[in-house]
Amino acid sequence: MTQRIKCIIAYDGTHFSGYQIQPGKRTVQGEFEEVLRRMHKGTEVRVAASGRTDAGVHAYGQVIHFDTPLSLSSEQWKKALNAQLPDDIVVRFVQEAGAYFHARFSAKAKEYRYKVWTAAERDVFRRHYCAWHPYSLHISAMNEALRLLHGTHDFTSFCSAKTSIEDRVRTMYRAEVKADGPMLEFRFIGSGFLYNMVRIIVGTVLEIGQGKRSPADISTLLAVKDRRLAGPTAPAEGLYLWRVYYADEWLERELADG
């Protein structure tokens, strides 16, 4: 009897060419499916994920699922997978899911975080885990700009020109930035995110923080739908897929808690 297994995984994206399998390149999906192939005595087992992450992007709460005939408990799956996965991937949580569950299509919302180190001197020990932006920033102006992203909008100005998806309307439930000393952390919760969307928003809002743009520019950019007018794409290493929400009540509780 086949069962569907849901996992929450974390990975350090530094030495991966992204999540999705690519011929001849090291990927998160490739490493995970190789472990499953060994556990299934050479039979290929395909893994579905909540979404793809690019080279250098990290995840704390990526969600995947796969179907298997093996009868293991959730704890046995977790131990077996972590014993064989490389040290830059870890399984944080495992549970059996119903056949109706799909890591991507069942998702209600996603949360991304983006970390920026703003000290004058770069930190060599953080260089793979946050962007370095050594400038004085006006946090209040940045949050004023981010609040303009709340709600349902066409985010064409904030996605890569290479994006093939025609429907670029998404709902942003939360967009904010907080400072803890020289470390900034952006937090975004939305119904979905387009290619490079978070990184372009961050790049644009950092310019607002420096005084190069006005917070009101966000409204203009949403209206004109032109990627060329937005700011630069922030580096991959600061981005984290933090959480995927599957139940409305979880999302509502998170938004209520602030």
Q: Which residues are annotated as part of the binding site for substrate?
A: 112
Cα–Cα distance measured from residue 172 to residue 154, given in angstroms and rounded to the nearest whole number: 11
Q: How far apart are the first and last CA of the chain?
A: 43
Contacts of 121 (CB under 8 A, 6+ apart): 134
Secondary structure (3-state) at 189: strand
Place of tokens 């997978």: 81
Q: How far is CA 141 from CA 147, 214, 229, 246, in A?
A: 10, 8, 19, 32
Place of tokens 């920033």: 137
- Look at residues 167, 14, 7 and name the one whose alpha carbon lies nearest to residue 94: 7
What would the two tokens of residue 117 be? 């180190």
> In degrees rounded to 5, what are phi and psi of residue 220?
-65, -45
Pairing of strands 3-11, 239-245: unpaired
> In degrees rounded to 5, what are phi and psi of residue 242?
-95, -40
150, 173 contact by CB (below 8 A): yes
Q: What is the DSSP letter of 228?
A: G
Report, as residue numbers or ranges, the catalytic residues.
Answer: 54
254, 245 contact by CB (below 8 A): yes
Cα–Cα distance measured from residue 7 to residue 249, given in angstroms and rounded to the nearest whole number: 20
